[in-house]
Amino acid sequence: MPTKLEKFAEFETFKNCFTLFFENLSQGFNLKGKWRTDYFKNDHPIILELGCGKGEYTIGLAQNNLNKNYIGVDIKGNRIWTGAKQAIENKLNNVGFMRTRIDFIDYCFDENEVDEIWITFPDPQPQSTRKRARLTHPLFLNRYKKLLKKDGTVHLKTDSTSFYEYTLEVIEENKLPLIWHTNNLYKNCPADRQELIAIKTYYEKMFTEKGEDIKYVCFKLN
C-alpha cells in the first residue's frame, strides 16, 4: 500500500482529479460552466458528492448509472486517491474528483450546472459553536443554490440523530420543499429506491455493523 506522500504525488498526476484552492479559483476555473462539454464530453446530468472521503459512494453511483456524471469533493487528497485510482482502473469516464474546500464550491460550477447533491456521513459538528460548519447550515445551502438546478435535489445520509433533526429544522425554518425523510433508512427504504441502501461508504458499514440507524433526507432548495 502506498504511503500518504506517495498517494499525494500520484494524485497530482491523475487526469480525473483537480486540486482547487482560493488562490487559483479566484482567478477563474476553466471548467466552471463547461464540465459537460470540456471534461465529460456529454450532456448527461451532473451529481456531486460533498465530503466524498475515499469515493465509495461516488464510484458506486457511477457504476450503476453510466448515463450520469459524478464528481466527488473532499479536502483530503490521500482519501480521494482511492476512488480516483479505482475509477481509472475501471475506466469510469463518468467520474471526476475535486480536492477543495466545500466553502469554495460555487466557484467551481456555474448556475444550474448541477442536477443533484449528495452529502454522505458528514462530520455532524455537534458543538453549538460549530453550527456554521455543518454542511446543511443555510450558509452552505445558499452556496449549493447558486449551482443547483431549480428542480435539483439534495440528499443527506447520516448516522447522527442530532444532525438529522437539525437538517429538518433548517428545511422547515427556510420553507424548503421536503421530498422524503426517515430516521431508519434500512427499515423504511422504498422498494423503488433500493440504491439508497445498496451502496455503503466505509462509515456506513461501520455504523450499521454497530447497529446504528441510518437517517436519510431528500429536499430541494427552490
* Pick from 131, 99, 136, 132: nearest CA to 24: 99
DSSP-derived secondary structure for 1-14: ---HHHHHHHHTT-
Is the CB of residue 184 less than 8 Å from the CB of residue 148?
A: no
Of the residues 123, 159, 192, 213, only one is catalytic, namely 123
In sequence order, which ranges of the chain are alpha helices (DSSP H)?
4-11, 22-25, 56-64, 77-89, 138-147, 161-173, 185-188, 195-198, 202-209
CA 108, CA 139: separation in Å to the nearest integer? Answer: 17
The three-class DSSP label of residue 95 is strand
Examine the residue annotation and report whether 123 is marked as an active-site residue of this protein. yes
CA 169, CA 161: separation in Å to the nearest integer? Answer: 12
Q: Residue 43: what residue type?
A: D
Q: Which residues are catalytically annotated?
A: 123
